[in-house]
Structure 1
Amino acid sequence: MKLNLSLPIWTLLTPVVAWIAYFTMGSMTGTLPLILLCIILIAGVLAAVHHAEVVAHRVGEPFGTIILALAVTVIEVSLLVSLMSSGGENTATLARDTVFAAIMIILTFIIGICILIGSAKYREQFVTKHAATSALVALTAILVLTLVLPNYTVSQPGPQYTQPQLIFAAVVSLIIYASFIMIQSIRHRDYFLPADPERKENEDAHAAPPSNKTTFTSLGLLIASLGAVVLLAKMLSPAIEAGVASIGAPASLVGIIIAMVVLLPECIAAIQAARRNRLQTSMNLALGSALASIGLTIPAVAIYTLFSHTPVLLGIDTTSVVLLILSIFTVMLSLVTGKTNILYGVVLLVIFAAYLFLTIFP
């Protein structure tokens, strides 16, 4: 059943149901409400993916992937700042842990599973070399300046920037991210288009772009769905914490699980693109999300800490630095030739498994 907006009715109702569940089921306990919240959360993720595809079809690449990445990141930043404001000094490492978890999930799991699924179906897939190197150069610079360099500065003890250093890191993060967006959407937009545009045009010729009314409706419902996903994930976090504690795993595993839930819409959208032999779209979404996650989160956290005088620790430990460098290096080698195969996906997923293993058994 469809309405006059040409959108399936379940995609219109799911965000409303999700928000109602958030406001009415927060105080409920027991197994049944927990299962119901999980079902609503998954439905919200699927609705977000559908609306993202509608918007992406209307605006074309790479603008569609930029919209989804920015929408998710803005909501993540809002959630992060709200948690920091209520947690005080106990949340000094929250921004670092959240950003690092998101980056590792994107670089190793999302990119790895997309390459694995796409290569298993098509043997080889193609990406634009300039797009990969542009995104990874920008991402590497921001990661080192924000997550690694604080370990080696001497003005402040510990993995922490002074206020001037934090302001500098925030400004350069915004400059690098803005430069990447300009390259991606204006100056070198052709780098980020599918590697075989003629095939893509033939595929899309059978589906007319949605109307402006449908597009704007989907954009609003996309934001509503993403907001509900993040808030429901936060609501489910106590149950996740109890489950993690019951198996004796460290509390940092909770952040990884929440980050995976929040990144589900982007993950599903990227996998769907890879299954359609559009790996370039998958990489646009994954690397663009990684850049938006750290390029916008660090400046937002810097602004918040300057006004609230809340300490923030940004430097990651030695094990995390090694895993981060290995992940970036592997992704670079996987994409720089312009052709991928199943081996690259396997290796990236093994690195993700190592990241999870070392989180549980440090």
Structure 2
Amino acid sequence: MGLTVFAYLFPLASLGFAILNSALALPFSWRVSAFETFLLVGSCFAAVHHAEGVSARIRQPFGTLVLTLSVTVIEVSVLVAMMLNGENNPTIAREAVLSTVMFVCTGIVGACLLLGALRHYEQDVRQQGVNGYLSVIIAISVLCLLLPGETFAGRTGATNMLQIGFVMVGTVVLYGAFLFMQTVRHRDDFLPEERDEAGEAPQHSLLVHVPLLLCCLAGIVALSSGVAAGVEEGLDRLGLRDPDAVVGAAVVAMLLLPETITAIRAARNNELQRSINTALGSALATIGLTMPAMVLVSELVGRPLTLGIDPEDRVQLLLVLVLSIVSFGTGRTNMLNGLVHLVLFAIYVMTIFIP
């Protein structure tokens, strides 16, 4: 009951405070920024709650798609606010996208596989559907994060917008093709096994969940600039060697927390396919939509981005992509698969702070 109440309060409080802050033009302060961060995180949870309510009312995999697209809108708004706050942060987009792929494919997937296996020993997924996720994730991860640093322009430190624009268009085409396969042509490959869910019907209609979901997203977008200013100023005072990497990871960890809880809960309930749809869907939506959106915004506001990632990140990205293929290669997962992913996640977090 408490979660339901907060799911109604946070959207209204976030949007209301954002309007009040804009009307009064409150100066920046740590207290205001901390309160805005509190409202933003609460609104993220509320957005996931209402997205799940919408998901329960419409067919799968459209329901999972609503959830992942909602999180993508949230992430883009926060990252754009950080890019526009103060001086240009040319690496913030690539660090956030890299962090999303690494957090999802190591941290969230590892936790789901391990905790699900602890209760159910082995779990099954629809291999064809998972292969669809991984094939597109691998393709656009390499195109967006590795290729830009290997072209002639990338090696010389110059930015060739024709190359980047062509890659971004290809990325959107791949993501659109995946959505067509997931929602129309091969829907069954992404659906979980039929289960008896009598008595689990949603309590409210789309007329309740859709407006509140939109209210959540509007409040988050409105609060993003204040949260961005507070996070960046706080991390700058720590004297980090790679502050953009930490900022990107912090944003991703904050925004993916609701989806992480949803995915882990599904894995513990022996709904691993739904868990993987949520986890890999968020990673795919991020690199398929967030990166092109950030490139477009950067071009419009005249703040160039650096897309090619550092050598240690290349090694870890390629390692986790290969590991993901192996982990889901048989269609059955166990505790060892989850443990390997979590170890790689811990090492990635270490390299964020000690590059």
Given the two structures, how large is their TM-score scaled by the length of structure 1? Answer: 0.86
Give the residue type in structure 2 aligned to 1:14: F
2:130 is the counterpart of 1:137: no
Residue 10 (structure 1) aligned with residue 6 (structure 2): yes
Task: Quote the residue 1:335 is aligned against.
Answer: 328
Q: Is the 8 A contact 1:152 1:159 kept in 2?
A: no
In structure 2, C-alpha distance between the alignment counterparts of 1:226 and 1:191, rounded to whole Å:
33
Residue identity in the other structure for 1:56: S
- 1:100 alignment counterpart: 98
Going from structure 1 to structure 2, the CA distance change for 1:8 and 1:83 (only over 3 Å counts) comes to closer
Contact 1:142 1:173 in 2 (8 A): yes
SS in 1 for 2:304: coil
Structure 1, residues 160-204: CA drift from partner, whole Å, max 9, x if none? 54121011101100110000001111110101111x21xx2x12x
Match of 2:210 among 209, 213, 216: 216
Output the CA distance in 1 between the equivalents of 2:311 and 2:241: 20
Distance of aligned partners of 1:289 and 1:174 in 2 relative to their CA distance in 1, 3 Å threshold: same
Q: Which amino acid aligns with 2:342?
A: L
Q: CA deviation at 1:228?
A: 6.9
Change (3 A) 1:149 1:34: closer
Which residue identity is paired with 1:281?
A: R
Q: Which residue type is aligned with residue 167 of structure 2?
A: A
Q: Which residue of 1 aligns with 2:147?
A: 149
| Alignment check: 8 A CA contact 2:43 2:219 kept | yes
Percent identical among aligned pairs is 37
For 2:300 and 2:213, the matched residues in 1 are separated by: 32
Deviations 1:263-317 (A, max 9, x none): 2222122122222221111111111111111111222233234444432211111
Structure 1 residues 281 and 218, CA, compared in 2 at 3 Å: closer, same or farther?
farther
Is the 1:153–1:161 contact (alpha carbons within 8 Å) kept by the matching residues of 2? no
TM-score (norm: length of structure 2): 0.87
- Distance (Å, rounded) in 2 between the aligned partners of 1:310 and 1:304: 8
Moved more, 99-108 or 230-239: 230-239
Change (3 A) 1:309 1:46: closer
Partners of 2:181 and 2:142 lie apart in 1 by 21
Task: Return 50-59 or 71-80, whichever deviates more.
Answer: 71-80
Aligned length: 348
Between 226-235 and 90-99, report the one with greater CA deviation: 226-235
- Relative distance call for 1:155 and 1:50 in structure 2 (3 A) is closer
Supply the distance in 2 between the matched residues of 1:360 and 1:207 (Cα, whole angstroms).
Answer: 43
254-263 or 236-245, which deviates more? 236-245
Q: CA deviation at 1:28?
A: 4.1
Mapped to 2, the partners of 1:38 and 1:309 lie a distance apart of: 28
Distance 1:69 1:360, change over 3 A: same
Q: Give the equivalent residue in structure 1 for 2:235.
A: 241
Q: List gaps (5 residues or longer) in structure 1.
A: none
Q: Is the 8 A contact 1:170 1:299 kept in 2?
A: yes
Do the aligned partners of residues 227 and 269 (structure 1) sit closer, same or farther apart at CA in structure 2, a change above 3 Å counting?
Answer: farther
Structure 2 CA distance, aligned partners of 1:235 and 1:212? 35
Per-residue CA shift, 1:231-252, capped at 9, x if unaligned?
Answer: 675354147416744xx66423
Cα distance change of structure 1 residues 306 and 50 upon mapping to structure 2, 3 Å threshold: closer
Q: Does 1:281 align with 2:274?
A: yes
Greater mean deviation of Cα atoms: 106-115 or 168-177 = 106-115
Q: 2:180 aligns with which of 162, 174, 182?
A: 182
Q: Does 1:323 align with 2:321?
A: no
Q: 1:131-150 CA distances to partner (integer Å, 9 max, x unpaired)?
A: 11111111111111111011
- Equivalent residue for 1:354? 347
Q: Distance in 2 between matches of 1:265 and 1:299?
A: 24
Aligned partners of 2:33 and 2:227 also within 8 Å: no
Q: Following the alignment from structure 2 to structure 1, what is the Cα–Cα distance between the partners of residues 93 and 34?
A: 29
Structure 2 unpaired stretches of 5+: none
RMSD: 2.7
2:254 to 249, 258, 261: 261
Amino acid at match of 2:205: S
Matching of residue 169 in structure 1 with residue 184 in structure 2: no
Contact 1:305–1:311 (CA<8 Å) still a contact in 2? yes
Deviates more, 1:96-105 or 1:222-231: 222-231
Relative to structure 1, the CA distance from residue 85 to residue 40 in structure 2 (aligned partners, 3 Å threshold; closer, same or farther) is closer
CA distance in 1, matches of 2:153, 2:229: 39
Separation in 2, partners of 1:188, 1:280 = 15
Q: Which deviates more from structure 2 when the two are superposed, residues 231-240 or residues 289-298?
A: 231-240
1:76-104: CA deviation from partner (whole Å, max 9, x where unpaired): 2233334334445x322121112111111
Aligned partner (choices 284, 298, 305) of residue 291 of structure 1: 284
Show CA shifts across 1:40-72 (max 9, x none). 455334323321221111113211111111122
- Checking the alignment, whether the CA contact within 8 Å between 1:120 and 1:342 is kept in structure 2 is yes
For the 8 Å contact 2:112–2:338, the answer to whether it is kept is yes
Q: Which residue number corresponds to residue 302 of structure 1?
A: 295
